[in-house]
Every structure is written in structure tokens, then in C-alpha cells.
Structure 1
């Protein structure tokens, strides 16, 4: 009986994903970061607060500018080469330039998308998207075709409420934050959806919502709905999923 209990404990321990290396630098209070996107073109982080405004921070967390998006709310956003792509969380998308002016008419990125909680423009032109009802991680082509669909509740451990998504161009790993209805944790995934690490976040904030990475310096920003806060970390991947790094835009590590 004692041996069986020991064996079960060892199996459980072996099945528990590793934790990522995460070193807390500072926390910005009073900023509700429901979606965050790193932008190599301006060497800063765009933050959506689920209101109309979009805010640009430098890598130290200092505000550079803000603009009114013209949308009723911005639920998620990502930086493209020539524009920012904003999502209202109800299936509507809008491209704007980096001062907030609309570039084209509002549109639907894909008929399958409605509750868009997190959005990331990947190096090949496709988009990584997370939704929480149901819990899904998708890769969507520019023409709206779904190239990959993974169900978070099938992960081990389950990812119940994915809210923000990012990809590290050096390791190829995908980062997703799961909010308080899930584990309030940072999931690190392979491009195919294998769980590489799960890092609890509750000691730094409640209800994780947004995530973004400056890859040159491994500066990671995570937004928390509870307490209206954005925390800044040093982060390291647990390993590499790709042989050749992805395109990442201009090098602005020391800006």
C-alpha cells in the first residue's frame, strides 16, 4: 500500500508540467491590461483596457501616447507590419495606423470568430487567436480559413479561460494566459499545442488577461483584470520548438 501511494505520487509529479523561469521586475498599478501587444516598429507595448482607448507604453512601462479607437471597446489587439489590428470582442475587426486613424472599413476576420479574447499576428501572416467560450486556440489565415483549432479543456492540465496569446520568435513557443475561472496561469505551448510549462501567476495579480513579449530582452508583460495592473517580468522559454527563429521586426533591444 505504501509502495502504491509512492508510485502514484511519482507518476503525478512526472505528469505535472514544468514552471517557466519568470522573474518579476515591477507592477504598473491602475492600468487594466485586457490585451497587450509588442510592436517592434515602435519598440513598445500597445495596451487595450476594454474601453475605447489604446495606450502605447515603452519597455519600462512609461506611457508614450494614447488614442481613441472609435470602437465601442477594444477587447484584443495585435501589431502588424503596417498597422494595428483591433478586435471588439463580438466578431468585428478594424485596422488603424499607429496614431489611431482607420485604414479601411471594419470587417470580420473569420466567420468562426466572435468572442475574440486574444490576438497575435504571426510571422507567416496568419493569426493566433484565443477564445474562452468555448476554450479554443486557433490559427487563422488572412482569408479567414481556420488552419488549426485546439480545445483548451483537452490540455493537461486544462486551459479553461484563455485570454491573451503571444509567440516567442526565438523558441517558437506560444504563450497563453488563463484567467481566474481557469488556473490564473501562464501556459507555454509548442506550435502544435503540447503543454511545455504552466506557471501560476496569483502572487503577482488576479485574473490574467493579456500577455506580450519583447523577444530581444525577454521582457514579458502580463495584464491583470483584478486590481487593474500590468506586471513586467524577465522570462525564459523552457526550450525550443523550432530550429530557425521567426522574423521579429526591427531590433530595438536597447531603445
Structure 2
């Protein structure tokens, strides 16, 4: 009778065998002929295609596509050994997005492409701003562009002279903000947000209207006056009521 003995293989050895098998087969992917992660520069509008291909495969290999962390739905016939996706039309929201092709049975085998969507400045923001004299004003110019544009501010078609302590500039990749502290009548005018990039320039006008200070009413004094007037009227009504009843008081009867 033949005795069978069980053989226990350490987990590390299993990983090593798996790694060696993977190296031996040389299985790898490429996207648009790139075998490593890369950045693809493009512009708005025209569609772009990404093609993922399996190399050194001895069997049918299923492929997966991801946009960021979300999986892309693929049709049958577009999953095995070669898979294509199309981004159409390309827009601003695609800028900086990562598309990744992965091997279904071993997701560590993958290639990613980051989209670098370049577009000229696109400006927006509230055009007219009414601010009471003495209060702060903020002009917000929403600006999207890639690459990031250079910014400058003008007032009434002249370079804006920034006054320390009164003017403050703030800029991010999407917002250009000009703050003016305690506006004065002299701050009235048209402010222009001007942006310049290699792909084009943009400008947007903002009309700042400084209004007169609104009169400040002494609220407590007004309330006190209303209370006094109300009490005076009430006392007057009570006094007239007593006099009215006195006039119609029944006279005493006299005996003969």
C-alpha cells in the first residue's frame, strides 16, 4: 500500500512562483504604443482614441478600462487582447483625468494615461456690483485655462494701481479675485480682468457702483418715542372716557 504525504508550500514560495511565471511569460500591456504610464496632450473638441494591446499572450486575455476610479463599460468584442475607447468630444472636465487599461486576471498589469487638455481662457463672473460707501467690495473673475494664464487688472482702461492695505489680489487655477477695502466714491468705475495665455487672451469687465451711505436710524430712540406716544394716546383715551361718563351720570332725586 502506497502512503500519500501532503506537501505544505509556504505562502511566500507561492508568490515567488507566481512572479517567476509572470516574468517568464513576459506578459505586458501597451496603450497607444506606450508600455509605461504617460501623459497625452490634446485640445478641446476633436475626439481622441486610446488603444490597449496585450503583448506576449499565449491565450485570450480580457482587458478592463477605468476612468479615474470608475470602470468603463465595454461592448462584447472589445475586451479580448485588444480594446479601444474613444473620448468625444474632449472638454475641460477631461483635463487631468487618468485612463487606465488593466489585465482582468491580474490587475497589477496595467498602463495609465493622463489627459493634458489645453484650452484658452474662459471667463465668467458677476458684471455689476453695487456697494455702499465705506464697505468692502470683491470682484471675482472665474477663469479656466490650461496652461494657467497670466493675469492683470485694469480700471477705466488703465493699469490698476494697487494701494497697500486697500487692494488685495488672490488667484488660483480657476479664480482671480480683487478685493477693495472700505470703498470710496473714487473707486467707482469699470474694472477689467485681463488674462493672457499661449492659446489666446481673454477679458471681462466688472462695473463697480459705489452708493451713498444709508442713513443710520437710532433704533432704540425710535422705539422709546413710539412707546411714549402710545402711552400718551392711551392716557388721553382713558381721561376722555371718565369725562364722558361723568356727563351722563344720573342726577340725584330730590324729595318734595
Task: Settle same-fold status: TM greater than 0.5.
Answer: no
Give TM-score scaled by structure 2 length: 0.17
Give TM-score scaled by structure 1 length: 0.17
**Higher relative contact order at CA 8 Å, sep ≥6: structure 1 or structure 2?**
1
* Bigger radius of gyration: 2
